Amino acid sequence: MTTAMVEKYKAFYRLLNKTSRTLVDRRFRQQGQCARGGSAASGLDHRPDAVVEQRVSYLGCPKRGLWTSARASLPSFVDGGFARDYPMNRCRSFGSVAGEIQRSSKFATLNSDDVAHFKEILGERNVVQDERLEAANSDWMHKYVGSSRLLLLPKSTDEVSRILKYCNSRCLAVVPQGGNTGLVGGSVPVFDEVIINMALMKQVISFDKISGILVCEAGCILEDLISFLDNQGFVMPLDLGAKGSCQIGGNVATNAGGLRLIRYGSLHGNVLGLEVVLANGDVLDMLGTLRKDNTGYDLKHLFIGSEGSLGIITKVSILTPPKLSSVNIAFLACQDYLSCQKLLLEAKRSLGEILSAFEFMDSVAMDVVLNNLDGVRNPLAPTAHNFYVLIETTGTEESYDKEKLEKFLVGSMESGLISDGVLAQDINQASAFWRLREGVPESLQRAGAVYKYDLSLPVEKMYDLVVEMRARLGKQKVVTMIWFEMAILLYI
Amino acid sequence: MTTAMVEKYKAFYRLLNKTSRTLVDRRFRQQGQCARGGSAASGLDHRPDAVVEQRVSYLGCPKRGLWTSARASLPSFVDGGFARDYPMNRCRSFGSVAGEIQRSSKFATLNSDDVAHFKEILGERNVVQDERLEAANSDWMHKYVGSSRLLLLPKSTDEVSRILKYCNSRCLAVVPQGGNTGLVGGSVPVFDEVIINMALMKQVISFDKISGILVCEAGCILEDLISFLDNQGFVMPLDLGAKGSCQIGGNVATNAGGLRLIRYGSLHGNVLGLEVVLANGDVLDMLGTLRKDNTGYDLKHLFIGSEGSLGIITKVSILTPPKLSSVNIAFLACQDYLSCQKLLLEAKRSLGEILSAFEFMDSVAMDVVLNNLDGVRNPLAPTAHNFYVLIETTGTEESYDKEKLEKFLVGSMESGLISDGVLAQDINQASAFWRLREGVPESLQRAGAVYKYDLSLPVEKMYDLVVEMRARLGKQKVVTMIWFEMAILLYI
């Protein structure tokens, strides 16, 4: 048994090594399954030479699978005009990226035999060459457009395995695709890669009401899982703006964070197991359902956030917390960014276990929302404030939680951390508060084409970036949303 | 930049591949840094052929670095007589394991030039050949005894790197060692490996009071970190019985869970970054301090739980939550195991965010404690109960939390889930309740030699194991402690 295990691990490392070389040498693309909304699912986080540079020029590169895409090496952001590390003429407009690089001649070109073979594996219906290809060839922002001539819709792990095995043997490039909601082009082809879309693998396999452990296929839509769990009295530990379209496999492949990251932790903590098909078709079964599993190396973590570049995620096992019934929301104003930071620390300390959201926006973001969305109003008007913070608590006991939040707000007012504030009195008011914060990307979209980047920076430095960006970009609108230690930067 | 990154990753994979082969072929041992107490830090979790077998015979193997130790392939548990997969005569008694395998002749033997070289790197004082070697050659249970002739005490990452580089070039086997508190022999030599002990690398490098992120060296004693954070108003997200001796590097290397796993999640969620020295001396800097860092593959997770087999952890960056002031404890009795399970589910739902401990012991465990420890008493006597549960809540508001817990207890009493119960009225009573649960291993130790195994099994199956073990082992005492979804099985 031990020998078998050793052999298995050795084989995996050999494969990983070979795969990574293959990926580099051939620019083999397997990184899609991106989740939409930009939010934590796509992101900018990019570190040159394995050290994160916490400075503005670090913004120059959208995050991509590191070597899996030719596009990854190109800074699509240079249009903005401030990524000084890159020559301005390298990438003038969206859509031109593919033109910058050569399709490797090592890759085969799809032929009719290939298509026939895929039809044998998947059946006629799930080998798509019609107008549905158009949507699959482009991201929802239409920033990236590929020219794939084939979209495959596998229904099982076995089918995924057979597809990849065949593509590997024929040297056909592939790109895995989930909800295709990503913002960094990870889920669309660069050239004529075969698209493997996971949409048909959407079964919930099991749910254990004692432990809260959900096992499902990778193509399950996040919102469907949220509803499913809600009926069982549980919640998904992640939530994204794109939940209506993004798939759990893509969420895991991109290590999506989203709105619940701080309360429930990252997917590295919540994903208990994965089933993955490697580039050569081998199925790696790491589908554990134990809270703690220290048996051997925890290889599944390599796939979380690997953007599909190491394999296609086919099944996910995830730990879900019980649903709590009491939710309270406050909308507050702060004078300066330092007060916002202090407020976060105080909230963590005083609200502790019930704190479920801490969302930040500034007056520019507020104006964008008020000017572009209908039926919204600033609950703290008529006074103009510099910064706004939304705080949400979630707990088991309505009255206690509310009292605790009120006490915290009074204390913060007295100490001068907040200059104004209001507590939602009913569900409508709570929704209205959330609408302001969630309306930021939507209202920007109405005002123009939006560039959207996830940031992972120390909290104290996040706002410097906005200030510097505004100085550099002049009249273009620069807006940020920050929640806890995460932020999105947007501009039009 | 991208090319440099690609090269870096390629180099890492080549190295990993080479290392893993080296580890397998040469039985190169690098897996120490074990944490004591057995608890979640050592553990049994062992899966043949990458699939966890959830059955009793799965108990046959204590968890070990998978191939890093010759001992790993031997079931030290067969003495118990029920590991049917293994011939009974393979491993008759503790201490005989090394005799079962051959020291590979590929390894060099330490000579005086080696020692002189190490003295050059580390200085005379930190190259140990005196009586301190004896303690380092054996685990605290004296189950495993090695015959190393050299103990090295590096003071910096650079020294660790130089040691490993030299050992690699000379083909000297090494074993990394932390607090040497492990129960599975991972931190002691099998033969004459050079012991690299991390005790001198015990500096706190930085602590950020806004984010709660601690960066420290791997040799920091867990209890020292707990005290340090306590002064700052924060807590470590893990706590172990062995905290007085075990080191954070060992905790991470063994993916220790411990008492706070359920409340604060696993180390995969809380460890933000690592610095690791690979077998060839290369330093891998993954010492991020961001809540979310999606830049490239998250290689640090490979090292969490790898038992030192992939490299020696030299620095750790960890996210720590703020300290909460209100703690309440209840000691309860249940009629059957099913009620205990239901109580857990109810506690999660009703106590939700304040639930910080749910600990289980049965009447056999209670008797062992009462018969072997002084000054303890069953707070629910005189009636005899089958099962006992300790529930702890931690929150920000004493009065709310207490009221919430009382309400929960009354409800559980009415629904028949608990048959009796008492709420600690002061800190002394709270300590007395904890003393009962924490006294289980200590009292067993007084009664005889203890075999201790971590279990990761579905909750509903955990107690079956105890029943079956008792049936098989006859008059030997079999005891279990379960907390949340985790358990330790002990017998004498």
For chain A, the average pLDDT equals 75
The span from the CA of B360 to the CA of A84, in Å, is: 60
Provide mean pLDDT across the span B217-221. Answer: 97
Provide mean pLDDT across the span B299-310. Answer: 87
pLDDT at site A293: 61
The span from the CA of B16 to the CA of B309, in Å, is: 11
Q: In Å, how far is B193's CA from the nearest CA of chain A?
A: 22
Residues of B in contact with A351 (CB under 8 A): 396
Which one of B8, B251, B268, B348 makes the best mutation probe of the A interface by having the most chain A beta carbons within 10 Å?
Answer: B268
Q: In Å, how far is A323's CA from the nearest CA of chain B?
A: 7
B201 confidence band (pLDDT: 50, 70, 90): very high
The span from the CA of B400 to the CA of B406, in Å, is: 10
A353 confidence band (pLDDT: 50, 70, 90): confident
The pTM (predicted TM-score) of the whole model is 0.73
Provide mean pLDDT across the span A484-490. Answer: 59
Provide mean pLDDT across the span A207-219. Answer: 92
Residues of A in contact with B2 (CB under 8 A): 66-67, 72-73
pLDDT at site A306: 84
The span from the CA of A140 to the CA of A36, in Å, is: 8
**Cα–Cα distances in angstroms (integers) from residue A260 to residues A243, A264, A310, in the given order:** 13, 6, 26
A79-83, A170-174, A291-295, A325-329 — most confident range: A170-174
**Cα–Cα distances in angstroms (integers) from residue B359 to residues A461, B332, B346, B428, in the given order:** 42, 10, 14, 19
pLDDT at site A481: 62
- Residue among A1, A48, A352 minimizing CB distance to B48: A1
The span from the CA of A442 to the CA of B251, in Å, is: 45
A10-14, A36-40, B101-105, B142-146 — most confident range: B142-146
Give buried/exposed letters for B438-450 (b at 16+ CB in 10 A, else e): bbbbebbeeeeeb
The span from the CA of A103 to the CA of A101, in Å, is: 7
Whether B40 and B260 have beta carbons less than 8 Å apart is answered as no
The total of other beta-carbon atoms located within 10 Å of residue B278's CB is 22
Is the Cβ pair A4, B49 closer than 8 Å? yes
Taking one residue from A and the other from B, the number of pairs with CB-CB distance under 8 angstroms is 276
- Search chain B and give the residue with CA nearest A1: B48
- Environment class of residue B174 by beta-carbon count within 10 Å: exposed (0-12), middle (13-18) or buried (19+)? buried
DSSP of B375-438: T---TT-SS--SEEEEEEEEES-HHHHHHHHHHHHHHHHHTTS-SEEEE--SHHHHHHHHHHHH
* Residue A75, token pair as written in the block: 């800074």
pLDDT at site A292: 58
Whether A361 and A490 have beta carbons less than 8 Å apart is answered as no
β-pair partners for B277: B283, B312
Residues of B in contact with A233 (CB under 8 A): 349
ipTM: 0.70
Q: In Å, how far is B234's CA from the nearest CA of chain A?
A: 9
Q: In Å, how far is B67's CA from the nearest CA of chain A?
A: 6
Does the pLDDT value for residue A233 go beyond 70?
yes
pLDDT at site A325: 79
pLDDT tens, residue by residue, B270-288: 999 999 999 889 998 888 7
The sign of the torsion formed by the CA atoms of A449, A453, A454, A456 equals negative
Is the Cβ pair B261, A16 closer than 8 Å? no
* Residue A250, token pair as written in the block: 């893509």
HSE, CB side, 13 Å, CA atoms: give it for residue A272: 22
Q: In Å, how far is B349's CA from the nearest CA of chain A?
A: 6
Residues of A in contact with B322 (CB under 8 A): 345, 348-349, 352
Is the Cβ pair B292, A40 closer than 8 Å? yes
The span from the CA of B301 to the CA of B267, in Å, is: 9
Does the pLDDT value for residue A196 go beyond 90?
yes
Which one of B213, B339, B353, B483 makes the best mutation probe of the A interface by having the most chain A beta carbons within 10 Å?
Answer: B353
The share of chain A scoring above pLDDT 90, in percent, equals 37
- Search chain A and give the residue with CA nearest B72: A2
Is the Cβ pair A400, B400 closer than 8 Å? yes
Is the Cβ pair A352, B288 closer than 8 Å? no
- Residue among B45, B50, B298 minimizing CB distance to A304: B298
Which residue in B482, B353, B408 sits closest to A235, CA to CA?
Answer: B353
Does the pLDDT value for residue B7 go beyond 70?
no
Q: In Å, how far is B21's CA from the nearest CA of chain A?
A: 7
B8 confidence band (pLDDT: 50, 70, 90): low
Amino acid letter, residue B27? R
- Environment class of residue B384 by beta-carbon count within 10 Å: exposed (0-12), middle (13-18) or buried (19+)? exposed
pLDDT at site B482: 62
DSSP of B74-119: S-GGGGGS--TTS-GGG--STT-HHHHSPPPTTS----HHHHHHHH
Is the Cβ pair B296, A460 closer than 8 Å? no
Q: Higher confidence at residue A43 or residue A202?
A: A202
Amino acid letter, residue B328? N
The span from the CA of A96 to the CA of B327, in Å, is: 60
* Residue A122, token pair as written in the block: 């998947």
- Residue among B4, B209, B324 minimizing CB distance to A353: B324
Is the Cβ pair B458, A344 closer than 8 Å? no
Provide mean pLDDT across the span B95-108. Answer: 66
pLDDT at site B3: 54
The total of other beta-carbon atoms located within 10 Å of residue A161's CB is 20
The span from the CA of B91 to the CA of B75, in Å, is: 7
Q: Which helix (H) or strand (E) holds A453?
A: strand A451-455
Is the Cβ pair B9, A67 closer than 8 Å? yes
Residues of A in contact with B403 (CB under 8 A): 400
Residues of A in contact with B296 (CB under 8 A): 47, 50, 66
DSSP B294: -
- Residue among A262, A265, A404 minimizing CB distance to B397: A404
Is the Cβ pair B50, A210 closer than 8 Å? no
Does the pLDDT value for residue B225 go beyond 60?
yes
Whether B198 and B33 have beta carbons less than 8 Å apart is answered as yes
The total of other beta-carbon atoms located within 10 Å of residue B133's CB is 17
Count of helix runs (H) and strand runs (E) in chain B: 15, 16
pLDDT at site A298: 83
The span from the CA of B260 to the CA of A222, in Å, is: 29
Whether B413 and B339 have beta carbons less than 8 Å apart is answered as no
Whether A148 and A136 have beta carbons less than 8 Å apart is answered as yes
- Residue among B40, B295, B396 minimizing CB distance to A350: B396
Q: In Å, how far is B291's CA from the nearest CA of chain A?
A: 7
The span from the CA of B286 to the CA of B157, in Å, is: 13
**Cα–Cα distances in angstroms (integers) from residue B227 to residues B222, B235, B257, in the given order:** 9, 9, 19
Whether A204 and A214 have beta carbons less than 8 Å apart is answered as yes
Is the Cβ pair A261, B291 closer than 8 Å? yes
- Residue among A233, A294, A485 minimizing CB distance to B45: A294
DSSP of A307-353: TTSSEEEEEEEEE-PBP--EEEEEEEEESSHHHHHHHHHHHHHHTGG
Residues of A in contact with B210 (CB under 8 A): 341, 344-345, 459-460
Does the pLDDT value for residue A73 go beyond 70?
no
Is the Cβ pair A46, B295 closer than 8 Å? yes
Is the Cβ pair B63, A301 closer than 8 Å? no
Is the Cβ pair B400, A404 closer than 8 Å? yes
B294 confidence band (pLDDT: 50, 70, 90): low
Q: In Å, how far is A345's CA from the nearest CA of chain B?
A: 6
Q: Higher confidence at residue A476 or residue A32?
A: A476
For chain B, the average pLDDT equals 76
Residues of B in contact with A48 (CB under 8 A): 1, 4-5
pLDDT at site B299: 86
